[in-house]
Amino acid sequence: MPVDFSGTWNLTSNDNFEGYMLALGIDFATRKIAKMLKPQKVIKQDGDSFSIHTTSTFRDYLLQFKIGEEFEEDNKGLDNRKCKSLVTWDNDKLVCVQTGEKKNRGWTHWIEGDDLHLELHCENQVCKQIYKRA
Ligand code: VLP
């Protein structure tokens, strides 16, 4: 049985989000707001097609992709830098490489117990988030 990320997930921990936002060049005022947020992710997984909708009281971000198909990502409302993104499976982990202006940019999602884990990385910064089912 392949892992199923589908569901609604609420952020419960967020380690070094500040470092990750600094690496992305997010301005001071936006960082102050963003670090107070408790985003929710609504994930829909249908075969190799995914949608990950990250919502908050401040901004929303919708990402839709198919495994193994590179796409242009606009990061609208985040850092607004365009990049080429590719999501693949690494065993049961969902790995995204975001190729563009920023070195070493990407993220990894996996499920551990009943929790959704997300590691976001950019340059030398790693942010680790944990979400619980809503
Ligand atoms: C920008 C950096 C906060 C901070 C300012 C706006 C959307 C994996 C992947 C799917 C992400 C989320 C990236 C968050 C970057 C914040 C607004 C926060 C709510 O998720 O699930 O795109 O990359």
Q: According to the model, what pLDDT value does residue 91 have?
A: 96
Exposure of 24 in the CB half-sphere (CA atoms within 13 A): 29
Q: Using the 8-state DSSP alphabet, how is residue 112 labeled?
A: E
17 lines ligand 1 (CB under 6 A): no
26 lines ligand 1 (CB under 6 A): yes
Q: What is the average pLDDT value for the chain, to the nearest integer? A: 97
Q: Which long-range contacts (CB under 8 A, 24 or more apart) does 31-34 make?
A: 33/58, 34/58
Q: According to the model, what pLDDT value does residue 1 have?
A: 65
If we measure between CA atoms, which residue out of 53, 52, 19 comes closest to residue 34?
Answer: 19
Give the confidence band of 2 by pLDDT, cuts at 50, 70, 90: confident
Q: Taking a C-beta distance cutoff of 8 angstroms, is the pair 56, 9 a contact?
A: no
Nearest residue by C-alpha to atom 22 in ligand 1? 63
ipTM of the complex as predicted: 0.94
Nearest residue by C-alpha to atom 14 in ligand 1? 78
Instruction: Examine the pLDDT at 111 and tell me if it is beyond 80.
Output: yes
58 lines ligand 1 (CB under 6 A): yes
Q: Which of 120, 127, 129, 130 to mutate to test the pocket of ligand 1 (most atoms within 8 A of CB)?
A: 120
pTM here?
A: 0.97
If we measure between CA atoms, which residue out of 37, 57, 52, 40 comes closest to residue 134?
Answer: 40
110 lines ligand 1 (CB under 6 A): no
Q: Taking a C-beta distance cutoff of 8 angstroms, is the pair 109, 92 a contact?
A: no
Q: What is the mean pLDDT of residues 17-29?
A: 98
